Amino acid sequence: MENNFFNNDSRIGIPSLFYDTLTGKPFSKCQVCEKEIMEHSTNYIIEKVFRKNIISGKIDVHFEFAICFDCAMNLTNSYSKESKENLQRFFTENVEQDFKKHQEVKLATERDVVEHLSACSITGKPVTELDEYQIIGQFTGQYINPAMAPVMIGSGAMDEVSDLLSNKTLDEIDDFTGKYLTGPPEFRDFFKAPKRRPILV
């Protein structure tokens, strides 16, 4: 799908919002195959989940990862046919419509990207009103992939996406997260019923 989000004369580097929280630098490797993603114009995805800390009240990164397109494709190919059809329909009806609605928006700087991610791409709810949300961006080497603007998805929309996934697909996601993603003990609760969160690669 062609979009008009990016100025033709600009290439936007990786916004710091998508940096590795532990190092404060861009991710350097795919979490799955450990391929160097900053070299040779590798296409990859970064996904980060933010959640409000019930003690401090601050919004913290709950988990994050970078995954190359090949590994992401292997994961999504493992999804059931039902899940893939449901997800395709959902994002076509929601996210793509959001793109069309904002075709006049031009992303030329990191600040533009941050502003673009300040509300849920599906519901329009401001990030300041969310206790939990995900951001997903596609990148090529050191730059945002110009074919797809980053998106932000709030907890309500995340619940809707989870409801579209079959048990087989949820089991595949469980296997993936258990093998490749790490985090504090409460991290595993993110993927358990009743609020089993999707991986949106």
Distance CA 154, CA 112 (A): 19
Residue 3 near residue 132, CB atoms below 8 Å: no
- In a 13 Å sphere around the CA of 192, the CA atoms on its Cβ side amount to 5
Residue 11 lies in a domain: no
- Single-letter code of the amino acid located at 26: P
Residue 50 lies in a domain: yes
Per-residue pLDDT of the chain in tens (201 residues, 90 and over written 9):
344 455 555 688 999 999 999 899 999 999 999 999 987 789 999 999 898 887 888 888 888 889 999 999 988 888 888 888 888 888 777 765 555 544 445 678 888 889 989 999 888 899 999 998 999 999 999 999 877 888 899 888 888 888 888 888 887 877 777 777 665 555 455 555 545 555 666
Residue 2 lies in a domain: no
| This prediction's pTM | 0.81
Residue 198 lies in a domain: no
Residue 130 lies in a domain: yes
Task: Name the domain count of the chain.
Answer: 1
Residue 197 lies in a domain: no
Residue 197 near residue 191, CB atoms below 8 Å: yes
Residue 175 CB partners (closer than 8 Å, separation 6+): none
Residue 68 lies in a domain: yes
- Domain region containing 87: 16-183
Distance CA 197, CA 67 (A): 18
